[in-house]
Structure 1
Amino acid sequence: MQKIKTALLSYGMSGKVFHAPFLDFHPGFELLGSWERSKKLIQQDYPSVKSYATLKEVLESDADLIIVNTPVGTHFEYAKEVLLAGKHAVVEKAFTTTAAEAQELVDLATEKGVKLSVFQNRRWDSDLKTVRQVLLDGVLGDIVEAEFHFDRYNPLLSPKQHKETANAGAGILKDLGPHLIDQALYLFGFPQAVFADIRTTREHSLVDDWFDILLYYPNFRVRLKASFFVREANPAYTIHGKKGSFLKPRGDVQEDELKLGAKPNVENWGTESIEKEGLLHTEIDGKVALEKIPTLQGNYYDFFDGVYNSISNNKEEPVTGQDGLRVMQIIEAAIQSSAQRKAIAI
């Protein structure tokens, strides 16, 4: 198996938790190291890799693939340099700060003949995978409405300054928003219009920390919500069709296990607790059914496997740059809608 030499542009929480463990575990990747500006930590976890002092060092290395996992406001600048250097790129969410930047990166990757993917890892969450399977099974009938939540209870401001200062990459809309928006587009396609309300609710907050986005489809609606003031969680996924309903709490365990230092595997990785099973209430073959649905196994490994195949076997990226562009188009429409208090046709 050809090894894809890979470097990270940061070894904070993202690099340590979401990227390095899978790059180290997947047999198709060789983790070269990470750009580290102040704290030099990656060699504590992976002694054989390198800590790069500058971006120039990373770009001049023999890396085939570079993970752009720095703060959102830097994604466009760094990803552009990576692509101009002829390297493949995976860019963390939010992909960029504007749709125009996203389009420029998509065009540049095509021009340079390199692969560009967006790290929308939550397509491989156990709960989202289960929701998708229920939809594919068609047991709900024609969809009437769906509502996705990414809620937390955390009134305190983040200690990470780039998340709480007013800048183009800050705010919940570009933090949790890309997850929910990407999942909606992945399941239902691109909507016809967007209506949104974006607010600031935490004391002393300088950035948006609450949103309610309504996506208009020809025959149904999808609502996306996120808040820092939800002590008692709503179902993460609520879908109502003309035959029945499916309710699923958020239950994916991967992030929590990775934060505790667990290493990924392909056997029982991403297995939820049985208490988090979703509830299906529908009609099957003329009979009403009310039952719990076993949750599918989540595994972010599949994203990295998709990246490997896109580079080594010239397959389509697991999440394309075009996918990232569509998310940014929804975000821009949501900002415009909230400001003008009206639905925005796309």
Structure 2
Amino acid sequence: MEKIIKTGICAYGMSGHVFHAPFIHVHPGFAFTAVVERSKHMAQERYPDVKVYKSVEEMLQDDSLELIVVNTPNYTHYEYTKAALNAGKHVIVEKPFTVASEEGQELVELAKSKGLLLSVYHNRRFDSDFKIVQQVISSGDLGDILEAEIHYDRYREELSYKKHKEAALPGTGGLYDLGSHLVDQALQLFGMPDGIWADIRIIRKESLVDDYFELVFFYDKLRVRLKCSYITREPIPSYQFHGRKGSFIKTKADTQETMLQQGLMPGAPGWGIEGIHEWGLIHTEKDGEVIRKYLPSPKGNYLEYFDGMYAAIANGAPVPVQPTDAVNVIRVIEAAFESSKTGSIVKL
């Protein structure tokens, strides 16, 4: 690749260490050039050539940087993205995009006015499990979908060691964190709903932030449920779709996060490939024949997001996740909190 995009990452916690630096490092079109670490030099232990800055503001003064990854605590996304755009940088923002949809829309308009690219890292679009879900839905093999349910459950009674995730601050809690993935996937599959009902609660003993939610999306004939609980020791299948012809049931089984946490680099042997025992079950009827079989998932690959971002910056292609999509995710989250507070269906 002729063009090398020098990139700076705003933080080197789990997001920077696991979900961004490895992909920027292995992609031939990017150079992991700079990172913000206020007290440690963990990034240099793995990437010796990276330059360490003590603040985001200091890093944004580096004229060599063309792309900035904003992966700081949720409530700072608006501030740092705005600062990066005003510094003339293209920006990738970790999900959730912003705390308020008005902030997200302002950033969309700012990027457009400056001729800069802005995208949000909804990486779960590139999970193996979601890829097979998209294929099955788009194939029409289930017929008209009447009911869908997507879960993101975990078992974690103890609070996270990441203090900013457990503090009662704007944008914290399960719905902004894990829920933004579920909402984005639902919107990708079915579009914006007509209305939303939600039940959002705190269920861990010492928690200050929401760690349980159930959302119901209302469409004409379709109902979509999104659920998350931090106290689910034995989760049910994460994807359930029921149509007039048949059903599809699937676990959340993408291997990439686990492989990244083990220290493997993208493209390692077996990258993003699910085990056979995780394949999804389709039970339907086609041409008068009843079919019940397990379907292999495509390979999960977050590198596809960075391929798309490179094509956008270098060749003028669309960004891999449009920021307007991410604004809609925040609109849904806002409506969900309003519904949970009032106990009513909120129209969109």
TM-score, normalised to structure 1, is 0.98
Gaps of 5+ in 2: none
For 1:33 and 1:259, how far apart are their aligned partners in 2? 21
**Residue aligning to 2:107:** 105
**Residue aligning to 1:178:** 180
**Residue aligning to 2:264:** 262
Listed one character per residue, the Cα deviations across residues 235-273 of structure 1 (whole Å, up to 9, x for unaligned) are 110000000000001100000000000111187420011
- TM-superposed CA distance for 1:285, in Å, is 0.8
Listed one character per residue, the Cα deviations across residues 104-134 of structure 1 (whole Å, up to 9, x for unaligned) are 1111111111000000000000000010001
Note if 1:208 corresponds to 2:249. Answer: no
**Residue aligning to 1:293:** 295
Q: Secondary structure at the match of 2:20?
A: helix
For 1:31 and 1:343, how far apart are their aligned partners in 2? 46
For 2:117 and 2:60, how far apart are their aligned partners in 1? 16
2:131 to 99, 115, 129: 129
**Residue aligning to 1:273:** 275
2:219 to 217, 220, 226: 217
**Residue aligning to 2:18:** 17
**Residue aligning to 1:41:** 42
**Residue aligning to 1:138:** 140
For 2:173 and 2:49, how far apart are their aligned partners in 1? 37
- TM-superposed CA distance for 1:56, in Å, is 2.5
Counterparts of 1:1-346 in structure 2 under 5 Å? 1=1, 2-61=3-62, 62-265=64-267, 268-346=270-348
Answer yes or no: is the 8 Å Cα contact 1:195–1:342 preserved in 2.
yes
Residue identity in the other structure for 2:92:
V
Misfit runs of 4+, over 2 Å: none
Q: Secondary structure at the match of 1:152?
A: coil
For 1:109 and 1:73, how far apart are their aligned partners in 2? 19
Residue identity in the other structure for 2:140:
G
Residue identity in the other structure for 2:98:
T
- TM-superposed CA distance for 1:85, in Å, is 0.8
Residue identity in the other structure for 1:60:
Q
- TM-superposed CA distance for 1:57, in Å, is 2.4
Residue identity in the other structure for 1:116:
L
Answer yes or no: is the 8 Å Cα contact 1:33–1:42 preserved in 2.
no
Listed one character per residue, the Cα deviations across residues 146-199 of structure 1 (whole Å, up to 9, x for unaligned) are 000000011111121111111102100110010000000111111111110100
- TM-superposed CA distance for 1:280, in Å, is 0.4
Q: CA RMSD in A?
A: 1.0
Residue identity in the other structure for 2:203:
T
Gaps of 5+ in 1: none
Moved more, 53-62 or 116-125: 53-62
TM-score, normalised to structure 2, is 0.98
Residue identity in the other structure for 2:141:
V
- TM-superposed CA distance for 1:225, in Å, is 0.3
- TM-superposed CA distance for 1:218, in Å, is 1.5
For 1:295 and 1:266, how far apart are their aligned partners in 2? 18
For 1:266 and 1:220, how far apart are their aligned partners in 2? 40
Residue identity in the other structure for 1:8:
I
Moved more, 56-65 or 115-124: 56-65
For 1:261 and 1:187, how far apart are their aligned partners in 2? 32
Residue identity in the other structure for 1:22:
F
For 1:49 and 1:162, how far apart are their aligned partners in 2? 26
